[in-house]
Structure formats: structure tokens, C-alpha cells
Amino acid sequence: MTRFAAPIAEQIWDMKYRLKEADGTPVDTTVEDTWRRIARALASVEADPATWEGRFYDALEDFRFLPAGRVTAGAGTERSVTLFNCFVMGTVPDSLSGIFEHLREAALTMQQGGGIGYDFSTIRPKGAGVSGVAADASGPVSFMDVWDAMCRTIMSAGARRGAMMACLRCDHPDIEDFIEAKSDPARLRNFNVSVLVTDAFMEAVKADAPWELRFGGTIYRSLPARDLWNRIMRATYDYAEPGVIFIDRINRANNLHYVEEIAATNPCGEQPLPPYGACLLGSINLARLVEDPFEEGAVLDEDALDDLVATAVRMMDNVVDVSRFPLEAQAREAAAKRRIGLGLTGLADALAMVGLRYGSDDAALQTERWLHRLARAAYLTSAQLAAEKGAFPLFDRDAFLAGETMRVMDEDVRAAVAEHGIRNALLTSIAPTGTISLYAGNVSSGIEPVFAHAYTRKVLQKDGTRREEEVVDYAVQLWRDRHADAPLPEHFVTAQDLTPAEHVAMQAAAQIWVDSSISKTINCPEDISFEDFKDVYLQAYEGGCKGCTTYRPNEVTGSVLSVDPAARPSQGEVVYLSEPLERPQTLEGRTYKLRWPGSEHAMYITVNDLLQGEHRRPFEIFVNSKNMEHFAWTVALTRMISAVFRRGGDVSFVVEELKAVFDPRGGAWVEGRYIPSILAAIGGVIERHLIDTGFMSPGSPTIAQPAAVIGQTAKACPSCGQFDLHMVESCMTCAACGYSKCG
């Protein structure tokens, strides 16, 4: 029998986590092979690898412990990838050479698969003088554009786009430009942005006091704090950014308050980190630990939770020793502090199974209790590991025990740390789990509510027909299995049923026992008034959260569409392909002549299309020329592009990638335009073809929307083309195929 609870779970495993040869031949023949590969790799550093491999396998089995995607995909593969999900880069110097050196480091980190965070507050404001060159500075936001362009060209390990977080202090002179930067729908698309909010600023907001914007000891100007706060809230209401990070609270509560200063987080906010800080992530699947679900005596097996947490902490600690790192500075930082971020997923499902409504007072109390149990087990295990293997190198007993987290910890935990030290400086974090939650059978993601009890996705088959497949929430399917067609109990709710205050209450309850932070999005309905919305961040601050992000459907970032299939607009024929299509006997196409200046022979580029109803989509490409100098790379290029075309979804990124290629020997002027390389010219031909056939909209590398959706703000998934994007844990996530902006 298959271990997968749903077809989409097996598809996610095959696409993202299954080890394959370069030609696509599977190495992991079953998901058990994947679990065995991970267990063996993480047990390799133990004194008794065979024993620990078995225990690690047991923890992974049936998706009870879910290492983050980087570990699941990379452990035991011998590939040059990092197993760490998130990094904060070094402090950016206020000099041109220093800025571009850090840009290089960011590119190397993203190439290996790490998401990165940056504090841009160290860069002088726009208009400030630059000594020695008689020029004015362009400001931090302009350099963020440079990072954004770099991210656009880097395809990281695992074939995903890089993810980045940009932070700026609330007292930086360019903070207003920063707040407004993403009002432009074409700008900074690879960044999440968050304002670093200080306690002093929050007090000034409450008192309606003036607020000074300063840099390098110079006060640039003053404005009412409440006006600046209202600009943040209005921007968040209008286009879902910026988020806020309560940076003083983060530094006060940091276990490492005595050796580091934090000024940024990873892309989704759950990991506040110092310069060159790195953290790995993993989640306990609470939905697999509930005994007698939906019955009168339903309860989470807390003894099983303790045992699973103990094994998970040991596994994650071993990742520090087996992982590669993009930069030596990151490796040193990880070894000195041995940070891990153990969290949970399936919370909303587990609450439903024990009869609690997500967002209720009882659910918040239960969440706090479960997370207290998780944190307690994690800290006790880490103290035991310290007795066995040694404490983290920068451990200082008195300073560590004096920290805010340890002052409220159980006395037996404090005693164990006092006696043995602790192996890991920080242990708990709640990360985005969108993709691994689908892989685990579509359990609710992280601490988020269920987005939809069920929805329908369309999968294109090899014969060109479409099959509709229902994707059901794990707890809902369990209810159906046990109660047939009985209606769901009233305590089953979705994200759309909750008020912003209920979202905040759940995040605040979880934060009490999380020593790092939490990735969560407070989803708000499009018709919520600004008056009802504007206090969300203030509620998060008063509730003890370390940060907050919201998502309200809007014209800049797009709308979340109804999960009712009858209400969903037509989505043309851009659908995810479960397998590449076989080539029909005949195809319609066009051939384009391209003559590159200085080349003796012209190129002839043929693009053939697949007809699906009234729509055309590209299926294959050929490049022919008498110039044999280009033969090898043109054959390779056409095979790769054709393979991408046959996978389906939004393939217009091919145009973007080709047009971004620059030839170091120089480009050429063609028909009055400068083309940076012959590859960029080929990209232009493909773009012209896709526009002419209606696949792309003129002026932007995106799928042309069918007439049925013109005028709506909904956006198609860039992976599968379906209109099932929604914001989960600060990541735009596709319910249809598992695509996530953050991987």
C-alpha cells in the first residue's frame, strides 16, 4: 500500500524530494527510500550510526517528523547543496565596493538554495554626500533593485527562485520610500519587505509624539510618529507589504543576547538571525499524533510528542555537522551556536480532531500548552546532548540562564542546562510548511488555519484529456472516512471564517514558547474596512508577537479567488501536466529568420504549438543554421527549452531568462534596438511568437489571461498556471501544484 494520503502528496514527493539521476531516472524508488537516505545521512556522524539510523527512520516514517525541504531533498545525495533553509547575510558596508562584495555573497548563497535576509539600514540615505566623488548617494532602496535583478537571474539548487527579505529601520531617512517601494507591481518582486520597529517608535506612536529620522548621528528631519505608522498600515492594506519586525523584543528575548545583535530575519520572518547567521528547520506533524480523533476523548499523545521531539532535535543537531555552506562565515557561525528551528505543522487539523475551533480562546490555550510541551522536550534533549557531545562553543551558563526565555522555563529544564549546558543556542521556530504539508497528505500548514476544506485541481493527461482531482484537507478526509457523508462539525473553520484578531491571538499564543519567531500570515477579506484593519499590527505588538504580516487581496499582488469551483473564472488551457505530453504526429508552427550581425549565416527558429481547444501553447523549438560553430549549444538549448515547454504551466520565464543573457564580448544593434547576446535575440523571437499566438500578454513575460478573467486582479500560478494562489506564512502558495514563492 502507498504511504501517501493523497495523489498530490506523491506528486510533490516526485517533483521536489525524490532523488533522481541527472537524466530523471529515479534513485529513490519509494518514499521509504527517501526516508532511509535521510536517516542514514544524519546518523553518519553518530558513534553508533546503525542504531540511530533506525531511530531516525522511525521518526520520519508516516510523515511524523518533517525535516524542511532542503534536508529532505538534499541529505545523502552528495550534491553541493546546503541543508540550511535560511540565512541572514553580513552587515552591508556603506561603500560601493562593499555593497557589491555582499551582492556576490548573496548570489553564491542563493545558488546553493538558501533564502537570505538583509538589513539595508547601514546604507546612507538618498541625497547624502559621497566623499571623494562629488556625487550624492542613491539610497538603500535603489540598491535593493540591484539585489532584485540578481535574484531574478539566479536559479537556486532544487530549481526554485531565490527568496529574499529586505529590512529597514523605522528611523532611517529613506523609510518612507521603503514603505512605498512595492506599490509598483513590477518592482522588488523577489523581496519580502519589513520595517524594523523599535519599542521607542511604538511608544511615540501611542503618544502621538514626533519621530526623528537619522543616519550616522545626523538628524535629517522629524515627522509625527503616528503619521509614519499610518503610512505603514495604509501600504499594508493596499498591497500587503511591508510587514513589521519588533526588533527590540527580538533582541531582548534572544538566548544569545550576550554575544550577538540581530538586525534582520530570513525571508519569511521565522528566523531572526545575526550577520551570517544560518538556521535549519523541521516540523513535528501534530495531525499524526492525535489519538481517537473526533471522539469524546480525543487527545494529542503528549508522550509520543516528547519522544518524537527528542529524536528530531538530535537529527537536526546532526545536520549542522553534515551540511555544506555557501560561505565559510556561515559555517563558522552555525558551528559556534548550533541554532536549530524545530516547529510544528498540522496544528489546525489537530485542533479540529480534538474538537476545538481554530481562533477560539480554548484553541489558543491548547496551542500554548502543546508548544510548551514541545519546547520543554526540545530543551531537555539539547541539555542531554550537551552532556554527551558538549555544549555549543559560545555557551555562557550565567548569561544564558539570565535570558528572558530561560527565566520562564520549567525549573527542571533550568537545572539540566545549569548542570550540562545546552547543545543548541536556540531550538524552536515555526516555519512555512506549505510544500512539506502537501507532501504529508495536505495537513494544515504550520500554525495556519485550513485555507480550504477541499478544492478541485485539473491535471492534464498524456492523451490531452483533463482529469479533475479533488484535494481534501487531511482532517476533513479523516472525518469523511469515519463519518461518511455526515456534515462537518461547526468547529471546522477556514481562514476566511476568522477575524484578524483571532489570527493574532493564535500567533501570540504560539509565540510564548517559541524562542525564535513564527511565520504566519493574517489573511483578511478584501472588503475589510481600513478602520477594522489598521490596528492589526498594534494588536500583534501588544500580544507579544515578534513580527506580523498580513495579506488582503489587492490590485498590486492579486486576489485570492473563491475555492468554489463554480465561482472560479475560466483558466484557459494552462494547466499542470502530471507527465510530459507525447508528441502528436502533426503540429502547427511558425519559422522565424534571425540574422545576427557579423554572422555569415542566418538562423531559422521554428516554434511548434499544441492546439488545445481554441488555445495554443508552445510544445517544441528548433534552431537551424549552416554555421556549425553554434551546432552543439543550439541542439542543447532547443532540447532543454522543448523539455520545459512539454511540462506545461507558465513557460514564459524562458523568455525572461534568455533575454537576460549578456555576451561579455558585446551585443549588437538589431532593428534599432541593442540586443545583449544572440541568446537574448532568440529569447526575443520566442517572446514574439508567444505574444502572436496569444500565450503571453504584450509587454510582460506572463501568460495572457483568457477573456473570462480580463479585469480581475487574480494571478496565475507561475508553475502550473492555475488560479489557486493564496498567501500562506508570508509565501504566495499554489494549492493546485504545491508551488511556493519561498520553495
Helical spans, DSSP H, in 112-173: 140-153
Mean pLDDT over residues 559-573, rounded?
38
Task: Choose, from 190, 192, 255, 266, the residue flagged as catalytic.
Answer: 266
Q: Do residues 308 and 284 lie in contact, with contact meaning Cβ atoms separated by under 8 Å?
A: yes
Task: Could you list the beta-strand ranges (E) of 399-549.
Answer: 454-460, 466-472, 522-523, 547-548
Active site residue 620: no
pLDDT tens digit sequence for 588-630:
889 998 888 877 778 889 999 887 656 788 888 988 887 777 7
383: pLDDT strictly greater than 60: yes
- Phi (first) and psi of residue 530, to 5 degrees: -60, -35
Q: What is the pLDDT of residue 558?
A: 58
- Cα separation, 117 vs 617, in Å, equals 37
Q: What is the pLDDT of residue 432?
A: 86
Q: What is the pLDDT of residue 704?
A: 36
Q: What is the pLDDT of residue 81?
A: 83
* Letter string b/e over residues 446-464, b meaning 16 or more CB atoms within 10 A of that residue's CB: bbbbbbbbebebbbbeeee
Q: What is the pLDDT of residue 656?
A: 80
Active site residue 404: no
Mean pLDDT over residues 705-721, rounded?
41
pLDDT tens digit sequence for 284-323:
999 999 999 999 999 999 999 999 999 999 999 999 999 9
Q: Which of 67-71, 92-96, 143-147, 713-717 has the lowest mean pLDDT?
A: 713-717
pLDDT tens digit sequence for 523-532:
888 889 999 8
pLDDT tens digit sequence for 213-232:
999 999 999 999 999 999 99
If one compares 598 and 684, the residue with the highest pLDDT of the two is 684
Task: Choose, from 53, 241, 260, 270, the residue flagged as catalytic.
Answer: 270
- Cα separation, 718 vs 586, in Å, equals 28
Q: Do residues 163 and 172 lie in contact, with contact meaning Cβ atoms separated by under 8 Å?
A: no
Three-point CA angle 498, 499, 505, nearest 5°: 95
Count Cα atoms within 13 angstroms, Cβ side, for 21.
5
If one compares 680 and 459, the residue with the highest pLDDT of the two is 680
**pLDDT category of residue 737 using cuts at 50, 70 and 90:** low
- Cα separation, 496 vs 609, in Å, equals 40
**Of 302, 416, 308, nearest in space to 370 by CA:** 302
Q: Do residues 231 and 223 lie in contact, with contact meaning Cβ atoms separated by under 8 Å?
A: no
Task: Choose, from 86, 167, 170, 268, the residue flagged as catalytic.
Answer: 268
Q: What is the pLDDT of residue 462?
A: 58
Mean pLDDT over residues 657-672, rounded?
75
- Phi (first) and psi of residue 617, to 5 degrees: -135, 145
735: pLDDT strictly greater than 70: no
42: pLDDT strictly greater than 90: yes
565: pLDDT strictly greater than 50: no
Adjacent-strand bridge partners of 608: 589, 620
**302-322 and 361-389 helices, crossing angle to 10°:** 50
Chain-centre distance for alpha carbon 125: 29
Cell digits of residue 358 = 481554530
- Cα separation, 5 vs 503, in Å, equals 28
- Phi (first) and psi of residue 155, to 5 degrees: -100, 115
DSSP secondary structure of 278-309: EEEEEEEEGGGSEESTTSTT-EE-HHHHHHHH
Q: What is the pLDDT of residue 161?
A: 55
381: pLDDT strictly greater than 80: yes
| Strands 603-612 and 725-728, bridge-based pairing | unpaired
Q: What is the pLDDT of residue 38?
A: 98
Q: What is the pLDDT of residue 719?
A: 56
| Strands 243-246 and 191-197, bridge-based pairing | parallel
Active site residue 254: no
| Strands 210-215 and 135-136, bridge-based pairing | unpaired
Q: Do residues 689 and 621 lie in contact, with contact meaning Cβ atoms separated by under 8 Å?
A: no
| Residue 340 CB neighbours (<10 A) | 27
664: pLDDT strictly greater than 80: no
Cell digits of residue 534 = 489598521
Q: Which residues contact 146 (CB under 8 A, 6 or more apart)?
A: 99, 103
**Of 68, 733, 670, nearest in space to 344 by CA:** 68
What secondary structure letter does DSSP report for 17? I
Q: What is the pLDDT of residue 702?
A: 40
- Cα separation, 399 vs 252, in Å, equals 12
| Strands 191-197 and 164-169, bridge-based pairing | parallel
573: pLDDT strictly greater than 50: no
How long, in residues, is the chain?
A: 743
Task: Give percent of the chain with pLDDT exceeding 90.
Answer: 59
Helical spans, DSSP H, in 44-95: 49-60, 69-74
511: pLDDT strictly greater than 80: yes
Q: Do residues 337 and 392 lie in contact, with contact meaning Cβ atoms separated by under 8 Å?
A: yes
* For residue 569, cis peptide bond before it (omega within 30 degrees of 0): no
Mean pLDDT over residues 715-736, rounded?
64
Q: Do residues 543 and 504 lie in contact, with contact meaning Cβ atoms separated by under 8 Å?
A: yes
Cell digits of residue 258 = 550576550
697: pLDDT strictly greater than 80: no
Amino acid at 323: S
**Of 10, 175, 729, nearest in space to 432 by CA:** 729
Q: Which of 109-123, 259-273, 718-732 has the lowest mean pLDDT?
A: 718-732
519: pLDDT strictly greater than 60: yes
**Of 73, 255, 95, nearest in space to 158 by CA:** 73
